[in-house]
């Protein structure tokens, strides 16, 4: 697999199997915890992009899937194939390495697997040159072994302006069914921009090394979605939160001094609107074979500085007002998914949007960010 075919990754690690896309550089990975190292290697927004006249291509890869003992496994990750802008095929690898963590003991067990191949039809054998993107799964790591076709495969440049986004598992795509179905990818494809998605499940925690990574990554447009992870990790108090956001923005601005920068407040999450973290698995739901989350904090502690999503929205709005940056914009996450949506589109696990809601959020982000007169308009 040629590295110049891979878009949306910040680094490619050459393993004994193939190329492993990373969404953080090695120096930053060394500063993160096990959770961040797990999710940054899941290639949300990463795709293999090329042109070819071939009527089909075969991708050989090895996936690694992660789960918890006693928690239902997620469905296998999906590869989406887009030909000349149109989604034409989706498939999953039958075999994958499976890593299971026992939360009661901290031990992991690994079931090995070998690379396998997926063959995708691209269209009739008529000699027409096609632009092809194979979007990699957003929820399992993938080592790319080979791309084979009966005609030459050529690397392509980025499709347009580069949009650099950072957020939580909601941005990475939890509960979306496919990689092109995550709300950032849906928005990027609709807006015709080239996405670099640094949405990290459980890990949008204002880490300084992530801010420096954003600073050093070329981009025309930048957006940051903060709140849910800071609350459900019970990471900091109100006194620390706004200064940490200011510091993160200061670092990002060092590398992108004039780029349109959007600060996105949390979408609705009823369990954490007025109840602090920490968040936890709902044990009664697990006993029924369901994955659901609950908030375990005490609302009475908000007065002493504990964070809720309501508090976070207030603090983020204050940060934007204080900075007086004409290119810094606030996007209310409740406009992407809010109280009026909860009945028609409930969060299936009390935390993450489902596939239909990801699509809805992507449409709304395009309208609120990329439409004429909006901050990311062409």
In this predicted structure, the answer to whether residue 103 has a pLDDT above a threshold of 80 is: no
CA trace torsion 97, 116, 25, 74 (10° rounding):
-50
Determine the Cα–Cα distance for residues 194 and 243; give it in Å rounded to an integer: 31
Give the per-residue pLDDT at 288. 87
- The model's pLDDT over 328-354, given as tens digits with 9 standing for 90+, comes to 999 999 999 999 999 999 999 999 999
Determine the Cα–Cα distance for residues 228 and 370; give it in Å rounded to an integer: 24
Which residues, at least 6 apart from 303, have a Cβ–Cβ distance to it below 8 Å?
A: none
Residue 109 CB-density burial (10 A; 0-12 exposed, 13-18 middle, 19+ buried): exposed
Give the per-residue pLDDT at 104. 80
Q: State the chain's mean pLDDT as an integer.
A: 96
Q: Are 44 and 38 in contact (CB under 8 A)?
A: no
CA trace torsion 153, 21, 229, 217 (10° rounding):
-80
- The model's pLDDT over 291-312, given as tens digits with 9 standing for 90+, comes to 899 999 999 999 999 999 999 9
- The model's pLDDT over 113-142, given as tens digits with 9 standing for 90+, comes to 999 999 999 999 999 999 999 999 999 999
- Residue 72: pLDDT band (50, 70, 90) is confident
Angle between helices 238-255 and 208-216 in degrees, nearest 10: 20
Cα–Cα separations (whole angstroms), residue 106 to 101, 102, 103, 160, 235: 7, 5, 5, 44, 22
In this predicted structure, the answer to whether residue 34 has a pLDDT above a threshold of 80 is: yes
- Residue 215: pLDDT band (50, 70, 90) is very high
Question: Quick one: which H or E segment has residue 328?
Answer: strand 328-331
Mean pLDDT of the 91-98 span: 96
Return the residue matching tokens 């469905």: 75
Q: How big is the CA angle at 331 (ends 329 and 334), to the nearest 5 degrees?
A: 165
- Residue 21: pLDDT band (50, 70, 90) is very high
- Residue 71: pLDDT band (50, 70, 90) is confident
Mean pLDDT of the 71-83 span: 92
Give the per-residue pLDDT at 16. 97
Angle between helices 309-323 and 238-255 in degrees, nearest 10: 50
Give the per-residue pLDDT at 41. 98
- The model's pLDDT over 154-197, given as tens digits with 9 standing for 90+, comes to 999 987 899 999 999 999 999 999 999 999 999 999 999 999 99
Structure tokens at 206: 């204002």
Q: Tell me the whole-structure pTM to 2 decimals.
A: 0.96
In this predicted structure, the answer to whether residue 147 has a pLDDT above a threshold of 80 is: yes
In this predicted structure, the answer to whether residue 143 has a pLDDT above a threshold of 90 is: yes
Give the per-residue pLDDT at 64. 97
Mean pLDDT of the 362-371 span: 98
Give the per-residue pLDDT at 248. 98
Determine the Cα–Cα distance for residues 301 and 274; give it in Å rounded to an integer: 10
- Residue 106: pLDDT band (50, 70, 90) is confident
State whether the Cα torsion 31-36-41-45 is positive or negative.
negative
Bond from prior residue into 278 cis (ω within 30 degrees of 0): yes
Strands (E), 43-135: 47-52, 56-68, 79-83, 86-91, 97-101, 108-111, 116-121, 130-135
Give the per-residue pLDDT at 9. 98
State whether the Cα torsion 141-186-367-335 is positive or negative.
negative
């Amino acid at each position: 697999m040629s590295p110049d075919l891979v878009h949306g990754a910040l680094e490619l690690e050459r393993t004994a199997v193939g190329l492993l896309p990373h969404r953080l550089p090695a120096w930053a990975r060394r500063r993160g915890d096990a959770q961040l190292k797990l999710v940054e290697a899941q290639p949300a927004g990463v795709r293999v992009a090329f042109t070819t006249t071939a009527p089909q291509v075969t991708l050989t890869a090895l996936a690694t899937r992660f789960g918890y003992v006693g928690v239902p496994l997620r469905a296998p990750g999906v590869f989406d194939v887009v030909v000349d802008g149109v989604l034409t095929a989706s498939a999953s690898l039958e075999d994958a390495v499976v890593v299971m963590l026992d939360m009661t003991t901290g031990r992991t067990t690994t079931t090995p697997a070998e690379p396998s191949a997926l063959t995708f039809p691209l269209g009739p054998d008529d000699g027409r040159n096609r632009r092809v993107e194979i979007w990699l799964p957003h929820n399992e790591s993938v080592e790319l072994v080979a791309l084979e076709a009966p005609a030459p495969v050529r690397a392509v440049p980025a499709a347009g302006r580069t949009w650099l986004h950072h957020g939580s598992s909601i941005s990475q795509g939890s509960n979306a069914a496919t990689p092109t179905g995550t709300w950032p990818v849906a928005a990027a494809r609709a807006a015709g921009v080239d996405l670099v998605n640094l949405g990290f499940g459980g890990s949008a925690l204002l880490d300084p090394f992530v801010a420096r990574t954003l600073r050093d990554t070329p981009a025309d447009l930048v957006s940051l979605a903060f709140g849910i992870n800071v609350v459900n990790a019970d990471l900091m108090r109100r006194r620390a939160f706004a200064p940490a956001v200011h510091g993160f923005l200061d670092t990002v601005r060092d590398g992108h001094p004039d780029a349109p920068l959007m600060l996105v407040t949390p979408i609705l999450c009823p369990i954490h609107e007025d109840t602090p973290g920490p968040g936890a698995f709902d044990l009664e739901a697990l006993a029924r074979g369901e994955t659901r989350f609950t908030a375990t904090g005490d609302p009475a502690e908000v007065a002493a500085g504990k964070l809720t999503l309501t508090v976070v929205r207030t603090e983020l709005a204050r940060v934007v007002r204080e900075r007086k940056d004409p290119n810094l914009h606030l996007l209310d996450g409740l406009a992407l998914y809010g109280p009026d949506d909860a009945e028609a589109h409930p969060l299936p696990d009390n935390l993450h949007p489902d596939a239909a809601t990801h699509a809805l959020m992507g449409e709304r982000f395009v309208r609120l960010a990329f439409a004429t007169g909006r901050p990311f308009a062409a």
